Amino acid sequence: MESASFAEGGGITVEKPKLKANAIGFVSNIVIGVASVAPGYSLAATLGYIAAVSGLGFQAPAAILIAFFPMAAIALAYYFLNKADPDCGTTFSWMTKAMGPIWGWQGGWAIVVADVLVMPNLAQIAGQYTLSLFGDGSPSTNATLAVGIAWIILMTVICYIGIELNARTQRVLLSLEFIILVIFAVVALIKVYTGHPVHSVHPNISWFNPFAIKGGITALNGGLLLAIFLYWGWDSGVSVNEETENSTEAPGRAALVSNVVLVGIYLLVTVAVMAYGGLGNLISHPFDVFSPLGHSVFGSGLDKILTLAILSSASASTQTTILPTARTTLSMGRAGAIPRKFGEITPRFLSPGFSTIWMGTVSLILYVVLMKTSTNLIGDAFTSLAITIAFYYGFSGYACIIYYRKQLFQSWRKFVTLCLIPGLAAVFLTWIIVKAFITYSAPHSGYAKPILGIGSPVAIALLMIILGLVGMLIQRITMPEFFRRKREIAPADVLDGDAIAVGRHS
C-alpha cells in the first residue's frame, strides 16, 4: 500500500495512504455527483410538497430555480478549496485548515450524519420500487426490509471493490434514469399540447417568477427549505477528487457542471409533471408524483419504466451515499481525528476498505432498527437532513473566505469569486438552519410523535449534535494530536493563472 508523509499545520506529520490515483475521468466525476442527488427519486418524493404543502402552487419551478443559485455558489467554493487542497475529506479537511480542528471535526461529522440518516430512506425506496417493478404494489414491511438490506449490501460491495466499478455502475444507472425522465417529460408535454388530457394546463413563464407567488415570502421560505433537498449530494463527485484525473481542477469543475445538469432536468420534468397532471395530482400524491401519471403518459405496459427510473435513482444514490462517507472517515482517520483504523486502504482495490464496510454496516443496522420500530422515524430522519446539509455546505462557504483571506482584496474578481458569492450562499444556508429549527421543532412537525415535546426531526438533529460533541470530546482526550493543529491559509500562488479567479487561462 502506497503512503506518503506530509507535514500538517503545527508540525505534526501524518501518514497519508493513497487512494487509486487517476482512476476516473471528468465525465465519470460528473456522473457520480449527479447520481448521488438521485434526481428521479428526489423529484418523486419532494415536488408534491414544494408545490402543494408549501403553498407555492404553479410557482414551484421558481423555488427550484432560486435554490440552484446558492448550490452553484457553494460549488464554486468547493472548486477553489479543492484547487488548494484536493483531499477526499473535503469539508472536513477544508474547515480544519481554515477554521481549526474543532470546526473541521464537526464538518466531517455533519457529512457522516447526513449520509447515515438518508440511507434508511433510500434503502426503503429501493426495496419498495424493486418489489413494485415485479408486480407487488403493496409489499409487506418484511419484504421491503429484506430487499432494502440486499441493496445496501450490494452497493457496499461495489464501493469496496473500487472506484472504477463504482463509476461504471453509476453510468448505467444514471443513463437509464435520465433517458426515462427525458422521454417522460417530452411525451407528457407533447400530449399536453396535442391531446389536452384532463386537468392539464399549458406551461406559463409566470411559473418561474417568484414575485407571482400568492403566499408571499412565507410560501417561498417553505419551498426553498424543501428545494435544497433536491440538490444535495453533488459534492460526492468532489469526494473522489484523489481518484480523479487532474485532481486539483476536474472535481471542482464537475461540481459546477453537476448543478447545471440538475437544474436543467429538474425544471424540464417539473414543468412536464405540472402541465400534464395539474396541481391536483401534486396535492393528491405528494409522496410520489410520478406513479399516478405513468399509465396515462406512457400507456398500458410501459408505465413500469417510470418505476424503473425511480428504482435506478434510489439504488444509485444508495451507492453514492456510501462513497463520500467512506472517504470522509478515511480522511479523518488518517489525520488522527478518529481512530486510524478508518484511514486504512485496501491493498488490492486501493479503496477505503474499513470505512466502506463501517458505513455499510451502520446504514444496515439503522435501517433495520427504524423499520422494526417505526417507519415514521425514517421520514423524520430524512426531514432533519436540512440542518446537517445546510451546516456543512454553508460552512464550506465560510471556509473558502477564511482560507483565502490573504487574497480576497488582491483584485475585484477574487473578491467576488472567493468572498462575495460563497459568503452570500453561506449566509443563506445559515438562515436555512435557523428556519429548519423553527419549522421542525413544532411538536407535530414530523411523522412520528414528538420527543420530549420537540418535533421529532429537530429531536433527531439535536441527538446527532450531542453524539458529535461527545465523540469529539472522547477523541480529543484519547488522540489529542489532531486538535493541536493550527489554522492555515491558502498558498499564495495556488490561483496563479486560474481562469475563474483571475480571468486568465492557465
d(CA 323, CA 383) in angstroms, rounded, equals 22
22 phi, psi to nearest 5 deg: 55, 35
Is 126 within 8 Å of 307 (Cβ atoms)? no
- Using one digit for the tens of pLDDT, what is the confidence trace for 358-403? 999 999 999 999 888 877 787 788 778 888 999 999 999 999 999 9
pLDDT at 4: 38
Nearest CA to 397 among 66, 67, 77? 77
Q: Which among 414, 429, 431 is positioned nearest to 504, based on CA atoms? A: 414
To which residue does cell 419551498 refer? 223
First to last CA, the chain: 34
- The domain locations on the chain are 21-502
Residue 285's CB is within 10 A of a number of other CB atoms, namely 18
Q: How many CA atoms lie within 13 A of 180 on its CB side?
A: 24
Q: What is the pLDDT of residue 380?
A: 81
| Cα dist from 233 to 48, 258, 357, whole Å | 20, 10, 20
CATH number corresponding to 21-502: 1.20.1740.10
What pLDDT score was predicted for residue 144? 93
Best CA proximity match to 120, nearest among 99, 143, 151, 142: 151
For 254, the grid coordinates are 464537475
CB of 212 closer than 8 Å to CB of 206: yes
C-alpha cell recorded at residue 327: 472517504
3-7 vs 13-17, strand pairing mode: antiparallel
Q: Which long-range contacts (CB under 8 A, 24 or more apart) does 467-470 make?
A: 468/106, 468/109, 468/110, 468/113
Q: What is the pLDDT of residue 11?
A: 37
Diameter over CA atoms, the chain: 71
**Side-chain half-sphere CA neighbours of 161 within 13 A:** 13
Closest by CA to 159, choosing from 367, 369, 358, is 358
Q: Tell me, what's the pLDDT at 13? A: 44
Where the chain has pLDDT below 50, the residues are: 1-14, 505-506
CA 497 to mean position of chain CA atoms: 31
pLDDT digits (tens, 9 = 90+) for 109-155: 999 999 998 898 889 889 988 998 887 778 888 999 999 999 999 99
Percent helix / strand / coil, the chain, rounded to 5? 75, 5, 25
Rounded CA separation 404/427 (Å): 18
Using a pLDDT cut of 90, give the percent of the chain over it.
Answer: 57
Neighbours of 42 (CB within 10 A): 22
- Cα distance between residue 450 and residue 253, in whole Å: 43
DSSP string, 159-220: HHH-HHHHHHHHHHHHHHHHHHHHHHHHHHHHHHHHT--TT-----GGGG-GGG-TTHHHHH
CB 328 within 8 A of CB 94: no
List the grid coordinates of 386: 436540512
Provide the pLDDT for residue 12. 41
